Amino acid sequence: MPAIRVIPCLDVAGGRVVKGVKFKGLRDAGDPVELSANYYQQGADELTFLDVTAAHENRATTREIVTRCAEEVFIPLTVGGGIRNLDDVSAMLEAGADKVSIGSAGVARPELLREVSSEHGNQILVVSLDIKRGATSSGFTITSHGGKKDTGLDAIEWVTKVQDLGAGELLINSMDADGTREGFDLELIELVLAETSIPIIASGGAGNVEHFVQAARAGADALLAASVFHSGEIAISDLKLELAKAGIEVR
């Protein structure tokens, strides 16, 4: 099994990093460029930059911030939010992104995922899945537009479909756990892993080091978090040390 990746997430709105609970009550958490540089110095394996209001505000991701962040870090940078077509993907890659994350636009037009994978390779395509419990056959449903809309899609059926369409990785964000600091949704992680062969990034609910250990042991390939890193409660270097002590291979 490859070494686990630790990925800080920068949720950006209005040019600032923000954080809320279950995508609500967003509050300022700092400057994205400064935070990117700080996390790089701490030993982050990758960074994820998500413009959390781009989709429902119907606008593109802020290219300037992506460029400035890319100039500060020399680890893979994934960018998402407001990416709707191949031109948007090309613009983000030219701005310095290594991967793009597509969520709402893929729900609206699934063929976009195949187009991106065919044009650029599936290694750059991260499909973002904002998932919550709902009345579907798996018990989980897909939301879109920053968690504002319930699509009615069964989460596990959608996982199977996006894999077939060319997803290189899956960003599994638990809407039920997001921002609660009560732990990753281990049931969701295990359910997705049973249905896919591509790497998954677990997101939503991290509150302490043990939560990261649990998600790694559940089978996640990467661990993504925001609040506990932004607040300084957990330093990435310390987290990696504790993961290693727990017998989990880190980079």
Q: Which long-range contacts (CB under 8 A, 24 or more apart) does 198-202 make?
A: 198/163, 198/167, 198/168, 198/169, 198/170, 199/168, 199/169, 199/170, 200/169, 200/170, 200/171, 200/172, 201/5, 201/7, 201/48, 201/126, 201/169, 201/170, 201/171, 201/172, 202/172
Of the residues 45, 51, 88, 130, only one is catalytic, namely 130
Q: Which two tokens stand for residue 171?
A: 């960003």
Catalytic residue chosen out of the listed positions 11, 45, 51, 185: 11
| Cα-Cα end-to-end distance for the chain | 12
164 has catalytic annotation: no
DSSP state of 143: E
Characterize the bridge pairing of strands 24-30 and 47-51: unpaired
Residue 221 designated active-site: no
| Residues noted as catalytic | 11, 130
